[in-house]
Structure formats: C-alpha cells, structure tokens
Amino acid sequence: MTMDMEEFEAAGNGEERLSTSEAVVKFLLENRDRAWQRREIADEINRDPNTVGTNLSRLKDRGLVRHRKNHWAITDDHHRLVEATQFSKVFSTLNESVGSIIESEEEAKAWSDAQPDRPHPSLGDGEEDTQTVESEGDNDDDQ
C-alpha cells in the first residue's frame, strides 16, 4: 500500500502519534501569540483542512480554542486547557500500554452499528418487564 509523501515525511518526526485535535492544540499553544486561519493550521500540522476544521469546531465546543471571523487561537482559560491536556495524556499512556481500542473507520462503524436500538433496562424508568428463570425443583409450591 502506498503512502502520500506528506504522510511519509510526517511519519519520521513523531507527529503521527498525535491525533488531529492534539496536533491543533499543540500548534496553537506553541503559537499562542497569534491567531491562525484553518488552512494555515492544516498546512503547519500537515493535516487535511476539512479534518482540521471539524476538530477546531469540536475544540471550540469544549472551550479549548477561540474563534473570531476566519481565525482561531488557543483558549485563554488555562485551567480548562490543563485539564484537557492531562486527560489526553491518560489516553495516550493507555494506548501505548494496551493499544488502541478502535484502529480504523471500519471498526468505529462496526462498534456504532452494534449499539442497541434502545437503552439498557437499568437506564429506564424501572418499569421494564423482567424475567426470572427458575430451575426445576427450585419451586416448593409444585410439590
């Protein structure tokens, strides 16, 4: 299987271990004195601009980046940024120890498709029908 040259070049510098969100946050944090356009960020971290845009929107929803017009910057909420970074480090350590749980889009889709159509009865209002199974000989009323 072939590899794009940008991907090939990035593979040698350790950046492949960062998710797109992590790479965006790292880049914006390292360059916190400026605001950047989506395409500029994508070019700097060698990622697809559409993927970067999606991740920027998610990071904004989490309060980790700020957005004005066409520009993006890291949050000025230091506490929120520290919490997010620590959470990311926990998952990175876990992935290094046991490997990634989901390694491809196909696996992610399979996990999503396998979800039940309705919530588990323990999450309902408590009025779900329950069935008990009795073994032969356990019911003294039969004698």
Give the model confidence (pLDDT) of 43-86 as tens digits: 999 999 999 999 999 999 989 999 999 999 999 988 887 777 76
Report the distance separating Cα 80 and Cα 84, nearest Å: 6
- Give the pLDDT confidence score for residue 105 in this predicted structure: 66
Tell me: the pLDDT tens digits for 20-51? 988 999 899 899 999 999 999 999 999 999 99
The two three-digit tokens of residue 31, written as one number: 């360059």
For the segment(s) 18-95, the CATH number from 3.30.413.10, 3.40.50.720, 1.10.10.10, 2.40.40.20 is 1.10.10.10
Q: pLDDT tens for residues 83-119?
A: 777 666 555 555 555 555 556 667 666 666 666 666 6
Domain positions in the chain are: 18-95
Q: Is the pTM of this model over 0.75?
A: no
